[in-house]
């Protein structure tokens, strides 16, 4: 039974295959948190929390003669403010009287089959029998509010989800100032924070820091989950490595302003509070109204960061991404952006498509510049009719011609934005977010549409559904190229202005929901100037997201490895582009660019006409390899074989099919050194008793100083090694020379007769 209520002990326990989460309904009605960690089937773990009297830590009214009972020191499930806990609250509000805070007490609970859903918000889902829901309702007597805490228990997936619904069952309005998705108190132990930070063209680099006493925060106020601070965080034991150690993962399903506070309190207990960023939020809740806090997924493992990542990847692929494309083979694409920016017409595009098709590319994506007066980023956003000079006759003749080549046709859009120079802005200046009386800040010459307004979403739905109906479009790249400033909605009264950022996100989700539901066959890719909105909320609607505008393969290794801490490879948009690279000026061998890009949703961002015949031939070879290894890469588990923050001279990662029958090792040297012993790695995820044949060795780099002797793959191919040898004794590649050499080695499990199993 995944959810157990013990009426005598007043405990509620959530069990997944390998973890237990337990809470206690206290004598005062407060809901205390007892434990989250490796599975223990004890009915009560209350013994591990020893209440003790601490000065300046107040006692609830009913326990005022028990000075050891304090909300300030006991671990809690969903702490309020101004009622005895001075740590970061999960819920904060101000009532009509001006009274601040809440004192939440248990009212009732319910255990339900299946997974709860959240109206208007992305939320993990489950098939029958895959999940159960625990709903615990707390009440605040002073305001009459009810807070429903929701727990989704995915037993086999070893994951929990949490969300909260605030219902105003009182008689007067309240203003919610903070509504967290979850609070997780970790009362014992020493911990570090692993977070994914960055900037435009350098998203999601992993950083691990010791927790200091006090509060540290991971947050965005940019109106998007951001390039700068991804909402995912992990709390990890200092000794945790890729293969062992305790780790908690917290994965918000939210794409707007988020904040996770991690507080180390007076007793070194760690509190994690995650949800909508309260800095830019409030919500006016009238009697009878409800507010839904976005969901966050939660997991624990003592198997190290690698195990944490694999759990999250599987969960995202199975329970968060809802597009039918998640299980379909996605085409290798070529995108026009780095190849031609705004400078194209249908003739050039068709040439581009023909050349790409001859190399085996399956889809042509027409990026920015196809609509309105869009010849630069100065104008046109908002006017979603094809530019007649570039595309005479519109999109259809082009998409028909591309389809006739046997390719799919994809299109770039940026629905949430408008240029000042556009017909849309001329007709509806009030649809853009601007503060009355103040000139707005611009970003990439554009303003942000007020997506919180129903008529804006309605207009965009009409425009884009017509385009999708008539344009012969198989794929959409949904971009967002600036962050939000001047957040003020003409449609909201003064007391609701701080709702605008969250209403914006609800509008974006609404539009995504309507378009993806109306056009389930269309493959959607998210994008925000690269990976500025790469989060689990967006993945609910778009099965893949463009990882970064930095296509330099060496930079991409750090970006994609960091991204892989939480997000699966099948979600990472990654393309081969030309060298010297447009973002860094660095040159990396074509083959290595392929190794890195095919560790994602593979594609190209270049003009085949500008390549040498050798390079064109390499494209054919890469596409052929990607197709042959598709299931291993896209449906397998991804293991990071080198440490995230300090990989050393080379970075290595491996894909293994769920049945352990095939594996693919990838190695890229980022720092070539003289006299090197060669890249030695221990593979993971194989069957130790199984025998694996080295099937194919593809090498980019040389083994001698005159740079004329590529690694002799044939000498390695065909060799049979046991899974135990490969995992415990390891595998060594000869030292490779040159700039950024790399290799791919594929393994296949064979039977005693050498045949593939």
Residues marked as catalytic: 535, 615
In terms of CB distance, is 22 or 551 closer to ligand DGJ? Answer: 551
In terms of CB distance, is 410 or 537 closer to ligand DGJ? Answer: 410
Do 342 and 611 form a contact (C-beta atoms < 8 A)?
A: no
Do 353 and 331 form a contact (C-beta atoms < 8 A)?
A: no
Among 32, 412, 464, 541, binds ligand DGJ (CB under 6 A): 412
In terms of CB distance, is 103 or 479 closer to ligand DGJ? Answer: 479
Spatial CA neighbour of 273 closest among 176, 158, 164: 164
Cα–Cα distance between 585 and 20 in angstroms, integer?
A: 50
In terms of CB distance, is 15 or 227 closer to ligand DGJ? Answer: 227
In terms of CB distance, is 136 or 527 closer to ligand DGJ? Answer: 527
Residue 171 tokens read as 């008689």
Render 217-257 in DSSP notation, one character per residue. Answer: EEE--SSSS-SSEEEEEEEE-TT--SSSB-EEEEEE---SS
Cα–Cα distance between 481 and 306 in angstroms, integer?
A: 33
In terms of CB distance, is 242 or 379 closer to ligand DGJ? Answer: 379
Q: Does 452 bind ligand DGJ (CB under 6 A)?
A: no
Q: To the nearest whole angstrom, how small is the minimum distance from the Cβ of residue 309 to ligand DGJ?
A: 25
Angle between helix 590-597 and 553-563 (nearest 10): 20
Cα–Cα distance between 232 and 316 in angstroms, integer?
A: 13
Q: Which stretch binds ligand DGJ (CB under 6 A): 92-100, 126-134, 523-531, 631-639?
A: 523-531
Partners of 261 in the beta sheet?
Answer: 217, 273
Among 151, 232, 337, 653, binds ligand DGJ (CB under 6 A): 337
Q: To the nearest whole angstrom, how small is the minimum distance from the Cβ of residue 576 to ligand DGJ?
A: 14
In terms of CB distance, is 143 or 481 closer to ligand DGJ? Answer: 481
Q: To the nearest whole angstrom, how small is the minimum distance from the Cβ of residue 384 to ligand DGJ?
A: 14
Residue 304 tokens read as 């190290």
Spatial CA neighbour of 698 closest among 686, 685, 680, 710: 710
Show the site string, 611-650: x = touches ligand DGJ by CB under 6 A, - = not. ----------------------------------------
Q: To the nearest whole angstrom, how small is the minimum distance from the Cβ of residue 371 to ligand DGJ?
A: 12
In terms of CB distance, is 333 or 691 closer to ligand DGJ? Answer: 333
Among 26, 382, 530, 690, binds ligand DGJ (CB under 6 A): 530
Q: Which stretch binds ligand DGJ (CB under 6 A): 11-19, 206-214, 525-533, 698-706?
A: 525-533
Among 79, 278, 529, 701, binds ligand DGJ (CB under 6 A): 529
Site for ligand DGJ in 352-381 (CB under 6 A): 367-368
In terms of CB distance, is 90 or 527 closer to ligand DGJ? Answer: 527
Q: Does 481 bind ligand DGJ (CB under 6 A)?
A: yes
- What is the enclosing helix (H) or strand (E) of 397? helix 395-404
SS (H, E, C) 602-628: EEEECCHHHCCHHHHHHHHHHHHHHHH
Q: To the nearest whole angstrom, how small is the minimum distance from the Cβ of residue 530 to ligand DGJ?
A: 5
In terms of CB distance, is 337 or 731 closer to ligand DGJ? Answer: 337
Spatial CA neighbour of 386 closest among 285, 309, 463: 463
The beta strand positions in 187-228, using DSSP E, are 192-197, 205-210, 214-219
Residue 58 tokens read as 């107040």
Q: Which stretch binds ligand DGJ (CB under 6 A): 75-83, 526-534, 667-675, 712-720?
A: 526-534
Q: To the nearest whole angstrom, how small is the minimum distance from the Cβ of residue 338 to ligand DGJ?
A: 8
Do 483 and 447 form a contact (C-beta atoms < 8 A)?
A: no
Do 742 and 701 form a contact (C-beta atoms < 8 A)?
A: yes
Q: To the nearest whole angstrom, how small is the minimum distance from the Cβ of residue 343 to ligand DGJ?
A: 13
Tell me phi and psi for residue 314, to 5 degrees. -65, -40
Q: Is the dihedral of CA 78, 84, 86, 91 positive or negative?
A: positive
Cα–Cα distance between 405 and 399 in angstroms, integer?
A: 10
Q: To the nearest whole angstrom, how small is the minimum distance from the Cβ of residue 749 to ligand DGJ?
A: 39
Spatial CA neighbour of 320 closest among 284, 296, 354: 296
In terms of CB distance, is 412 or 740 closer to ligand DGJ? Answer: 412
Site for ligand DGJ in 543-562 (CB under 6 A): 546, 549
Q: To the nearest whole angstrom, how small is the minimum distance from the Cβ of residue 481 to ligand DGJ?
A: 5
Give the residue closest to ligand DGJ by C-beta: 368
Do 502 and 256 form a contact (C-beta atoms < 8 A)?
A: yes
Cα–Cα distance between 534 and 546 in angstroms, integer?
A: 8
- What is the enclosing helix (H) or strand (E) of 702? strand 691-702
Q: How far is CA 623 from the centre of its chain?
A: 26
Q: To the nearest whole angstrom, how small is the minimum distance from the Cβ of residue 564 to ligand DGJ?
A: 20
Cα–Cα distance between 221 and 258 in angstroms, integer?
A: 7
Q: Does 527 bind ligand DGJ (CB under 6 A)?
A: yes
Q: How many residues bind ligand DGJ (CB under 6 A)?
A: 11
Start-to-end CA span in the chain (Å): 36
Spatial CA neighbour of 364 closest among 623, 615, 607: 607
Q: To the nearest whole angstrom, how small is the minimum distance from the Cβ of residue 335 to ligand DGJ?
A: 7
Q: Does 563 bind ligand DGJ (CB under 6 A)?
A: no
Q: Can you give the binding site for ligand DGJ, defined by CB under 6 A?
A: 337, 367-368, 412, 479, 481, 527, 529-530, 546, 549
């Amino acid at each position: 039974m995944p959810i157990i209520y013990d009426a005598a002990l007043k405990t509620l326990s959530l069990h997944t295959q390998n973890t237990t989460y337990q809470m206690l309904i206290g004598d005062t009605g407060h809901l205390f948190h007892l434990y989250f960690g490796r599975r223990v089937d004890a009915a009560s773990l209350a013994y591990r929390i020893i209440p003790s009297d601490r000065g300046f830590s107040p006692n609830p009214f009913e326990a005022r003669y028990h000075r050891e009972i304090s909300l300030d020191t006991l671990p809690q499930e969903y702490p309020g403010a101004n009622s005895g806990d001075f740590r970061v609250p999960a819920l904060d509000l101000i009532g009509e009287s001006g009274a601040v805070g809440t004192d939440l007490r248990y009212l009732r609970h319910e255990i339900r089959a299946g997974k709860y859903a959240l109206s208007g918000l992305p939320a993990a889902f489950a098939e029958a029998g895959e999940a159960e829901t625990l709903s615990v309702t707390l009440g605040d007597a002073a305001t009459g509010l009810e807070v429903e805490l929701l727990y989704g228990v995915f037993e086999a997936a070893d994951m929990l989800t949490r969300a909260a619904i605030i219902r105003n069952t009182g008689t007067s309005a309240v203003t919610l100032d903070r509504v967290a998705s979850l609070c997780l108190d970790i009362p014992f132990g020493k911990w570090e924070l692993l977070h994914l930070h960055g900037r435009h063209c350098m998203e999601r680099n992993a950083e691990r820091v010791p927790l200091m006493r006090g509060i540290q925060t991971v947050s965005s106020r940019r109106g998007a989950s951001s390039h700068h601070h991804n909402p995912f965080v992990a709390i990890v034991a200092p000794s945790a490595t890729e293969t062992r150690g305790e780790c908690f993962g917290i994965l918000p399903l939210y794409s707007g302003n988020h904040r996770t506070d991690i507080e180390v309190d007076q007793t070194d207990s760690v509190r994690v509070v995650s949800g909508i960023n309260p800095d830019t939020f409030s919500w006016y809740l009238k009697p009878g109204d409800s507010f839904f806090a976005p969901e966050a997924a939660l997991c624990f493992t003592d198997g190290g960061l690698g195990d944490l990542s694999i759990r999250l990847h599987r969960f995202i692929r199975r329970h968060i991404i809802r597009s039918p494309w998640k299980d379909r083979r996605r085409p290798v694409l070529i995108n026009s952006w780095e190849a031609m920016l705004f400078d194209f017409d249908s003739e050039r595009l068709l040439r581009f498509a023909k050349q790409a098709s001859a190399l085996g590319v399956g889809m042509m994506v027409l990026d920015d510049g196809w609509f309105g007066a869009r010849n630069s980023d100065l104008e046109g956003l908002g006017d979603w009719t094809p530019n007649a000079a570039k595309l005479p006759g519109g999109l259809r003749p082009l998409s028909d011609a591309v389809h006739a080549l046997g390719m799919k046709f994809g299109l770039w859009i940026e629905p949430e934005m408008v240029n000042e120079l556009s017909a849309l802005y001329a007709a509806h200046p009030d649809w853009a977010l601007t503060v009355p009386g103040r000139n707005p800040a611009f970003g990439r010459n554009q303003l942000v549409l007020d997506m919180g307004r129903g008529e804006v979403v309605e207009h965009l739905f009409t425009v884009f559904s017509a385009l999708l109906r008539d344009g012969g479009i198989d794929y959409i790249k949904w971009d967002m190229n600036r962050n939000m400033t001047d957040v003020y909605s003409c449609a909201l009264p003064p007391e609701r202005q701080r709702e605008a950022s969250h209403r914006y996100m609800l509008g974006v989700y609404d539009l995504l929901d309507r378009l993806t539901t109306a056009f389930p066959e269309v493959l959607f890719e998210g994008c925000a100037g690269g990976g500025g909105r790469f989060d689990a909320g967006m993945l609910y609607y778009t099965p893949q997201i463009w990882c970064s505008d930095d296509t330099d393969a060496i930079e991409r290794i750090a970006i994609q490895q960091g991204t892989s801490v939480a997000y699966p490879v099948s979600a990472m948009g990654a393309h081969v582009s030309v060298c010297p690279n447009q973002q860094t000026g660095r040159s990396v061998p074509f083959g290595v660019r392929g190794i890195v890009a095919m560790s994602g949703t593979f594609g190209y961002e270049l003009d085949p006409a500008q390549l040498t015949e050798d390079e064109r031939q390499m494209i054919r070879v890469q596409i052929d390899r990607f197709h042959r290894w598709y299931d291993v890469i896209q449906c397998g588990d991804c293991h990071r074989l080198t440490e995230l923050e300090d990989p050393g001279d080379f970075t290595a990662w491996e894909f293994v099919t769920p049945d352990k029958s095939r594996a693919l090792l990838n190695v890229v040297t980022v720092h070539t050194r003289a006299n090197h012993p060669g890249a030695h790695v221990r593979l993971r995820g194989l069957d130790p008793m199984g025998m694996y044949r080295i099937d194919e060795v593809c090498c980019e780099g040389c083994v001698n100083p005159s740079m004329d002797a590529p690694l002799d793959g044939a000498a390695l191919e065909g060799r049979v090694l046991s899974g135990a040898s490969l995992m415990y004794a390891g595998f060594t590649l000869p030292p490779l020379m040159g700039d950024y050499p790399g290799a791919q080695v594929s393994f296949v499990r064979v039977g005693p007769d050498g045949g593939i199993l």
